[in-house]
Structure 1
């Protein structure tokens, strides 16, 4: 079992939590931390926590869906001129790169294994019939 997807997702969570801490430390600078930063940082921490939970369960399908959705959301955030400050956009680019790594790693393992089973995330939930 490889740890690559789990490590990438753990890094995504740590970076997201660090961003929330930085936002708190810079809270008295409205040009650096506005309401959009608080909302986005909170959403990202939540999605990172869910991704870690899914990885621990071995739920590859849902993990890939969330990673793809968050990557698309990051692309939108980075491309719009407002309301996000540059530092948050740079952090989001780093998060996006981690998530792209997750998606590519999971896709590569699925193709190599011939399906969604045993992709290096732990146990695969059994299907009910």
Structure 2
């Protein structure tokens, strides 16, 4: 049985009040992930917390667009920052799949010949 995600407090709660009902579960997951990131206890830098939530350089670009330093703390975020972060997070989520194949199965090597699907070793004729 999974535990429910605790409701955010402070500016994150203010931002949550402004979101539509269908966006709340995603927002709660994002807030929980940013505030409970593994580095949050040792290094409370927001840049490190965003690295696991936004792919590639999206986290750094978001910080720069908002005028925040990568060393800023999650507690420094305002309600407007949380709303902007949620919007960026949603824009960078992978598109939903049609359910035909599990997401982790694409591109696996075929163990029959040791190459990726569709790839064959080049024959060597000497």
Q: Same fold (TM over 0.5)?
A: no
Q: Relative CO higher for 1 or 2, CA cutoff 8 Å, sep ≥ 6? A: 1
Hey, which of these two has a bigger chunk of helix by percent? 1
Structure exhibiting the larger radius of gyration computed from Cα positions: 2
